[in-house]
Amino acid sequence: MSRKTQVAIIGAGPSGLLLGQLLARNGIDNIVLEQRSAEYVLGRIRAGVLEQVAVDMLEQAGVAERMHREGLPHDGIELCFNDQRHRIDLHGLTGKRVMVYGQTEVTRDLMDARRAAALPTVYEAENVRIEGFDTARPRVHYEHGGRRETIECDFIAGCDGFHGVCRASVPAGAITQHEKVYPFGWLGLLSDTPPVNPELIYVNHERGFALCSQRSLTRSRYYLQCSLDDKVENWSDEAFWQELRRRLPAATAAELVTGPSLEKSIAPLRSFVAEPLRFGSLFLAGDAAHIVPPTGAKGLNLAASDVGYLWQALTDHYRGDAKGLDHYSQRALARIWKAERFSWSMTMLMHKFPENGSFGARMQQAELEYLFSSQAAMTALAENYVGLPMA
C-alpha cells in the first residue's frame, strides 16, 4: 500500500517525536516510523538534564505541563576533586538554571501527546529503506505486520539515532564523519533511593570518575567510570555501592542511601559529528547526526535544538521561503560543534586517563584548581552547562 505525507520522520526517539509534534502544530502533516515497540523505546534509560532551550521547545510543542509539575529546577552543580566539593552557581553566574527531568518522561509525554492528537505512528516497522532523496520524489519503504508499505513524501527527517538507516543511506563521498572514542565506559545504576545531594555531583577521583544524578526526590541515578571490557554481570548492586562510596568524600559517602537497582547498564563514550546534515530532501537530526559523551548532559538538548532549527526551516518552506532549508545544516552544526567541544572538555577534565601519564594528570589538576579559583572560568563552564543560545 502507498500513502502520502509531507514529512516522513524515521525514528520515534525524542528527536522524531518532538519534530512530529512541532510540525503538526504548524499544520504540516507527518508520519513517524519506528523499528521498535513503544515499550522498548520507553525502556531505554538516558540522561535527565534539560537546558532552557529544550524546555522552551517542549513548551512550543505543547508537552511541558508535567515537566513543569514534576521536574526539578536546579540552580547549581558540584564538581568534586581531591575529596573536596566545589559548587558551580549556575544561576548566580548566568541567570539561568537547568531542569532535571528524565528523557524517558520527555519521551512518554511526547508519545501521549501524539496519541491524543491521533497523529500517525508506526511502531515495529521492519526493513525501513529510504529512496530518491536526491530527487523530487523521496519515498520510504517498510514492512509492517507482514505487509509491504510505501510512503511518498516531500521530505525525510532522519531522526533514527546513531545506528539508524538514514545516515547509512548517504553515499560515502557525500558525507564527512568525525569521531573520537574514549577508552572507558559509564556503568549506570538507577534506584528508588533519595539522591545523596539536592544537586548533581561530578566527581574526579583517583579510582575514576563518578556522577551522582537523580530523576526525582525519591529516584537516583549514579554512574561510575569503568573499563570498556567490563560487564554489568560483574557488578552486584553491593559492589557498585561500595565502589561509589570509595569515590565520594567520606562525609558524602556516609549520607548515601543505597537500595536495590531498578536498572544497571554500561555505555561507551563517544564524540561523533557527521557533516553536512542535508542531502537533497533528507535531513539528519539528533543522534543520527552526532553523539556527545554524556559528561555535559548535552545529547537530548542538542537533539532539541536540531529539531528546533529543522522545524523552523520546514515551516518557512511551506510558507513559501525555501532559504531556511539551505541554512539548516550550517545553523545546526554551529551549535553542535560548540556542544561537542564542551562535552569533550568536561570528559577530559573529570575522568582518569592513565595513558596520559603524570603530565596529563598534572594538567587536569591545574585546570581544576584554576577553575575553582576563577570566576571567569566558572562562568564559562556554567554558560555552556546551562546551554548556549540558539542563534
Q: Which residues bind ligand APR (CB under 6 A)?
A: 10-16, 33-36, 41, 46-47, 103, 125, 128, 159-161, 164-165, 286-288, 299-300, 303
Inter-axis angle of helices 14-25 and 103-116, nearest 10: 40
Look-up of cell digits 571567569:
376
* Residue 35 site contact among ligand PHB, ligand APR, none (CB < 5 to 8 Å, cut-off depends on kind): ligand APR
Nearer to ligand PHB, 221 or 335 (CB): 221
For residues 7 and 17, what is the distance between their CA atoms, to the nearest angstrom?
A: 12
* Residue 33 site contact among ligand PHB, ligand APR, none (CB < 5 to 8 Å, cut-off depends on kind): ligand APR
For residues 278 and 89, what is the distance between their CA atoms, to the nearest angstrom?
A: 38
Q: Is residue 187 close enough to count as binding ligand PHB by CB under 6 A?
A: no
Annotate 225-282 with DSSP letters as a single string.
Answer: EE-TT--GGG--HHHHHHHHHHHS-HHHHHH-----EEEEEEEEEEEEEEE-SEETTE
Residues forming beta bridges with residue 121, ordered by sequence position: 32
Q: How far is CA 4 from CA 8, 19, 115, 151, 235, in A?
A: 9, 18, 20, 6, 50
Stretches 45-53, 67-75, 229-237, 329-337: which one binds ligand PHB (CB under 6 A)? 45-53
> Is 352 designated active site?
no
Stretches 43-51, 83-91, 271-279, 334-342: which one binds ligand PHB (CB under 6 A)? 43-51
Q: Is residue 130 close enough to count as binding ligand PHB by CB under 6 A?
A: no
For residues 31 and 33, what is the distance between their CA atoms, to the nearest angstrom?
A: 7
Q: Is residue 221 close enough to count as binding ligand PHB by CB under 6 A?
A: yes
Closest approach of Cβ 247 to ligand PHB, in Å? 16
For residues 308 and 322, what is the distance between their CA atoms, to the nearest angstrom?
A: 16
* Residue 221 site contact among ligand PHB, ligand APR, none (CB < 5 to 8 Å, cut-off depends on kind): ligand PHB
Closest approach of Cβ 370 to ligand APR, in Å? 29
How many C-beta atoms surround the C-beta of residue 19 within 10 A? Answer: 31
* Residue 16 site contact among ligand APR, ligand PHB, none (CB < 5 to 8 Å, cut-off depends on kind): ligand APR
Angle formed at CA 254 by CA 226 and CA 233, multiple of 5 degrees:
30
* Residue 49 site contact among ligand PHB, ligand APR, none (CB < 5 to 8 Å, cut-off depends on kind): ligand PHB
Cell numbers for 238, please give them: 553491593
Q: How many of the chain's residues bind ligand PHB (CB under 6 A)?
A: 10
Nearer to ligand APR, 146 or 354 (CB): 146
Residue in 205, 294, 309, 351 annotated catalytic: 294
Q: Is residue 261 close enough to count as binding ligand PHB by CB under 6 A?
A: no
Active site residues: 74, 202, 294, 298, 385
Binding site for ligand PHB (CB under 6 A): 47-49, 200, 213, 221, 294-297
